[in-house]
A and B are shown apart, each in its own frame.
Chain A
Amino acid sequence: MKYLQLVLAALQRHKARTLFTLLSVAAAFLLFGLLDSVRGAFSGAGSTVAGLNRLVTVSRISFTLQLPKSLLERIRAVPGVADVTYANWFGGIYQDQKNFFPNQAVAGNFIDAYPEWKLSAAEREAFRNTRTGAIAGALLANKFHWKLGDKIPLQGTIFPQKNGSNTWTLDLVGIYRIADPQQRGQENALFFNWDYFDEARAFGNGNVGWYVVRVADAKNADRVAQAIDALSADSDHETKTQSEHAFQLAFVSQFGDIGLIVGAIMAAVFFTLILLTGNTMAQAVRERIPELAILKTIGFTSSSVLGLLLAEAVLLLLLGGIVGVLVAGVVANGLQLSMGITLPPIVSSVAVWLRALGLMIVIGIIVGAMPAYRGLRLRVVDALAGR
């Protein structure tokens, strides 16, 4: 610590250069923060302990096909099943196609399967008892300034009504919140009463999109899943039951290999960064060779000179990198508010910080090592003479 002054003085030696380097380090870590959080969103970092005992049962052929509702009671009777609920993808449009958000028709007890979603008992009750009732997440309700009692018209894209109309008017009876910031993206959705949906839709009646099964003990999940699939084996509606996490992972992996794309970009960014800061450090050391020689003359050992130079490089990376990650948090927040895109939180995520800090220190050591090695090998007489 006592050498901190010395390191800071070295950084201030050429203020413009230090500033420019800090800014490019910050730009690199701004990208790192944003991309790492995108990768997190796609790699299913959203799975929680609460989701461990949830299974999803869909049609084996494709999750876009419906299953008969008659399976409900048969699944409920499978040993180890605590509760079962069901939903249909509705895919309605609110006002304009650009306002996309997920909306589903769900059973009255659907929300009970998600204890991490907070909804008051009164609103829960209202949802069950209102024929055209709907509940929306707080993020979504804020975005469109909805409040309880509002009428929300959705344009059906898949399901028209029996009476030929394509407009489904819903009554907002509840707004749910999710405390866990990793999960808040799921507040961007709307759910409405399945009974109303099934009664009014022009076709497909009596079928559900998928079942969500809660198992009593997560340890038995595999056995229960097999038992459920055995119910419909060799029928014309075979099912595939898997954990919610596996289902989500398979779904998002269909969008493309996000991990690969993000990895490639990060590689390009950090390769450039290493070259850039490495060059700056080399320049800084080259200019200071006589000073380093003086340090050694007045009794600094080679290893403390090495330490000083490494500390300087790491400090440079840390200062720039921390600023970059903080800015990434602000930018992600801005995206969330202005465009309704939800990324997992950056600034409050320990994992993101650990990865970022690790990278800063590793890159700092890499870029500091070459010039520091020169400082170590310095022959005082030559250096003082300017040779």
Chain B
Amino acid sequence: MASGRGNRWRRLLGWLGVWALVFCGLLVLAMLPGWSLPVLLLPLALWLLLTRTGRQAWSATQVGIATIPQRLGSSSVVVVGIAGVVGVLVALLAMAAGFAATLKQGGNDETAIVLRAGAQTELNSVISSETVTLVSQQPQVQRGRDGLPIASGELVVVAALPKRTTGLDANVEVRGVSERAWELRPGIRMITGRRFTPGLRELIVGKRAREQFSGVDVGSTLKLNGQPWQVVGEFEANDANDSDLWADFGVVGPTYRRGNSATSVTVKLTDAHAFETYAAALAADPRLKVDVRTTRAYYTEQSASLTRLITALGNAIGVIMAIGAVFGALNSMYAAVATRTREIATLRALGFRSTPVVVSVMLETMLLALLGGMLGAAVAWLLFDQYTASTLGANFTQIVFAFRVTPELLWRGLKWALAMGLIGGLFPALRAARMSVTDGLREL
């Protein structure tokens, strides 16, 4: 009786130990950076090759791997199940990464954007022309060769245009810019046509906007507020500006009954350290009621909530799918151990200890999991890297972005695969190790 209870306690402790091990393993895995994989694999390889137990484990693993073709069906469950999880996870995270990257590329620390106090986005902001002058004339604003400040009062308005894919109206951002805008965004390059002529109703269209919307090809005319506008060029900015239409500030205002007010002022600072003093100077001026941010901070803020949402969604979907895949892997590996009962018992009878048996089953599962992870990551990369999609940005307009399957995301997918392999392999491995040799040998 007493010994029975003792055994039960020992078993309970054993289970707790296993779970603690799984938990620690997952924790360590979650924190590993990508470069550490070879560093960890090296001691494992040395152990497998150089020690006696290691060599036993290696030969047991080889037997296990050699029998995989006989149970192709159940092994492919492990691979495909894990590939599915990793594929969906990587694709969703690539969407978040792509959106964040597209917005962030538009920002840096040397330019600052001024909005009306309290306005979170340009669409919500109104800035009078006096304010535009005041914030541009500060000493922290860099001057161009002509001695005038490099600052652009800009007016963001919204137009509804039909999308190419659905034919439904969607919002596109029309940005009226001052002539200094080109100096503030040196990355912008005309692909075809020319820049708009100040004072005329001419538009240039961003690369992504032209792909998304119909009727904005170079040479076409579109009506904004009843007036015809000519599209004279297409530009490429490689950031969120690619989703815009640009025109002259002085012409957009009257068209949209906005007079000469702006929605934002973007200024070039003398250097990145000037931001603090610039912000302090604007705050100290009683004539101004404005908020100022570096463009980097502004664009990061704009991408934050959507990026967080998609990442959380991706992780949640990943966890639920992973639960399903782990149970599938457990099923397959328990079955694999069951079909190899006699073989494993024979190994034990020959003098193999339990460690090599555990290691061999674990190694086999991890290899299958890694294969699944690589398959899933590869499919996600092939299908979704640079895949373009669009969503509503902070200005209630379409922002086009490309999915980015980055190396970090691929590594994260592989880590998930290894974690699933760890759980899916450990319990069947322990069963294999605990198997009674005599019963196992008698198994048909």
Contacts and interface: CB of A to CB of B under 8 A. Distances in A.
Interface of A: 16-17, 20-21, 23-25, 27-28, 30-31, 35, 60-65, 91, 97, 155-158, 160, 164, 166, 203, 234-236, 238, 240, 250, 253-257, 264-265, 268-269, 271-273, 275-276, 279-280, 282-283
A253 B327 contact: no
Nearest to B257: A236
Interface in B116-140: 116-121, 123-124, 126
B226 A272 contact: no
Contacts of B216: none
Contacts of A157: 118-121, 124
B160 A61 contact: yes
Contacts of A250: 168-170
A27 B328 CA distance: 11
Contacts of B76: 275, 279
B409 interface: no
Given A20-B327, A279-B77, 13 more contacts: A17-B331, A21-B327, A24-B323, A24-B325, A62-B160, A64-B158, A64-B171, A166-B118, A256-B389, A264-B91, A269-B321, A275-B80, A279-B331
B251 interface: no
A256 B257 CA distance: 30
Contact of A283 (B74, B81, B159): B74
Contact of B321 (A27, A65, A240, A279): A27
A164 B224 CA distance: 33
A155 B320 CA distance: 39
Contacts of B392: 254-256
21 contacts: A16-B334, A20-B331, A24-B325, A31-B317, A31-B321, A62-B157, A62-B159, A65-B157, A236-B225, A238-B225, A253-B166, A256-B391, A257-B389, A269-B321, A271-B80, A275-B80, A279-B74, A279-B328, A279-B331, A279-B332, A282-B73
Given A62-B159, A65-B158, A254 B118 contact: no
A250 B160 CA distance: 11
Contact of B327 (A27, A61, A235): A27
A64 B327 contact: no
Interface centre among A25, A254, A265 (most CB of B within 10 A): A254
Interface in B217-265: 224-226, 256-257
Interface in B29-86: 73-74, 76-77, 80-81, 84-85
B171 A276 contact: no
Contact of B84 (A62, A235, A255, A268): A268
Contacts of B81: 272, 275-276
Interface centre among A65, A91, A203 (most CB of B within 10 A): A65
Given A158-B119, A256-B390, A276 B158 contact: no
Given A64-B171, A254-B170, A254-B392, A272 B317 contact: no
Nearest to B379: A268
Contacts of A236: 225-226, 257
B398 interface: yes
A275 B372 CA distance: 14
Nearest to A253: B168
Contacts of A155: 118
A160 B118 contact: yes
A174 B170 CA distance: 35
B324 interface: yes
B330 interface: yes
A63 B395 CA distance: 12
Contact of A265 (B117, B256, B317): B317
Contacts of A91: 124
Contact of B331 (A60, A255, A268, A280): A280
Interface centre among A16, A273, A279 (most CB of B within 10 A): A279
A155 B120 CA distance: 11
Contact of B124 (A30, A158, A265, A282): A158
A253 B167 CA distance: 11
Given A62-B159, A155-B118, A253-B168, A265 B88 contact: yes
B257 to A, nearest CB: 7
B327 A30 contact: no
B186 to A, nearest CB: 30
A195 B227 CA distance: 33
Contact of A234 (B80, B126, B226, B328): B226
A35 B257 CA distance: 43
Contacts of B323: 23-24, 27
Contacts of B224: 61
Nearest to B121: A157
Closest 3 CB pairs of A and B: A27-B324, A62-B158, A24-B324
Nearest to A328: B320
Contact of A23 (B157, B327, B334): B327
Contacts of A283: 73-74, 335
A236 B74 CA distance: 68
B11 interface: no
A387 B330 CA distance: 29
Nearest to B172: A62
A228 to B, nearest CB: 17
B320 A27 contact: yes
Given A20-B327, A234-B226, A236-B226, A64 B88 contact: no
Contacts of A25: 324
B289 interface: yes
